[in-house]
Amino acid sequence: MAILHNRVSQKELKQRLLQETEPRTTISFYRYFRVNEPERFRDELYRTLAALKVFGRIYVASEGINAQISIPTAYLDILKRYLDSYNGLKGLRLNIAVEDDGKSFWVLKVKVRDKIVADGIDDPDFDMSRKGKYVDAAKMNKMIADPDTIIIDMRNHYEYEVGHFKNAIELPSDTFREQLPMAVEMMQPYRDKNIIMYCTGGIRCEKASAYMLHHGYENVYHLEGGIINYAKEIKEQQLDNEFIGKNFVFDDRLGERISREVIAHCHQCGKPCDQHTNCKNEGCHLLFIQCGECAVKYNGCCSEECSTVIQLPPKEQKELRKGKNKGQNIFNKSRARRIEKVGHP
């Protein structure tokens, strides 16, 4: 019987990846479609993708699939044919990473979830088949220039902080489930405007557009393939780039540069910087922005306290971590204070 999960340590797997010499391609894809047997679908995916040396995260639910993976470039066409063999995945768009060294993932995880993106929607009348109109890069640029267009960023505050479309409205929250009702409320004065929603790869803004229509909005659009596909299209078609800064991505890279502008600042010293990192203290692991100078000063940590902790013997560090639940540990700029001054936010 085939093993349908990984049994090798994360540390060893990452080391194996770093020693690989064959080129890899990082891609993301999603689709909302009816999956009648998510567990069976999950097992089929794992068997095939493991054989293709795929690494990454894939979520399967009755509403569809959401994936961020890397694959040996030589197997990319095989992957496309395999995905196309499912009726619900025919013609699937694969978003190819903008900046990619092939080291984005080092383990394959395929999990069954209630939703492919957590949305907090429990309304039985909500229907994903009724969604906003797609816009491509050319249409996006045209509508951005129209004063009757409202642009909404459907990503979290830490994603918006390092990069976003010009004049895009931020929905200041940590989670997508918080943003959906927030968008409905905030857009009430603009019901007669064209509303374009966008996100990283398209999955969140597509659901958000359906949610807006469900709540009576009419002129709702969403960016096809998200920022990743937009960056690809403006390059291929030599279009003006209306996105400034970096596109945050949920893998080991933590970002893809879309334009040269650096619009964020180091959370410790305030210098221009848009490099996210996780605090090196495993008992903290805070996601925050840190410049090179502060990385040296604090040993890659978010505070002097954490910098002191990582210099302790491993056994003592482990004792300090016992019983602590980090949860979603993300620097929140709305707290209006610097990490350096307060230790742990």
Phi, psi of 287 (to 5 degrees): -85, 120
- Which of 199, 205, 266, 301 is the catalytic position? 199
Helix (H, G, I), strand (E, B) or coil at 269: coil
Show the tokens assigned to 143: 């509508």
171 residue type, one letter: L
* Per-residue burial over 45-75, b = 16 or more CB atoms within 10 Å of its CB, e = otherwise: bbeebbebebbbbbbbbbbbbbbbbbbbeeb
CA distance 244 to 315: 44
The DSSP call for residue 237 is H
Whether the CA torsion 110, 249, 69, 210 is positive or negative: it is: positive
CA distance 193 to 220: 9
178 residue type, one letter: E
Verify whether residue 199 is a known catalytic residue.
Answer: yes
- Please enumerate in sequence order all residues whose Cβ is within 8 A of that of 336, keeping only pairs 6 or more positions apart, or say none: none
CA distance 123 to 93: 29
Q: Are residues 286 and 345 in contact, defined by beta-carbon separation less than 8 angstroms?
A: yes
174 residue type, one letter: D
57 residue type, one letter: R
CA distance 226 to 205: 8
Kindly list the catalytic residues: 199
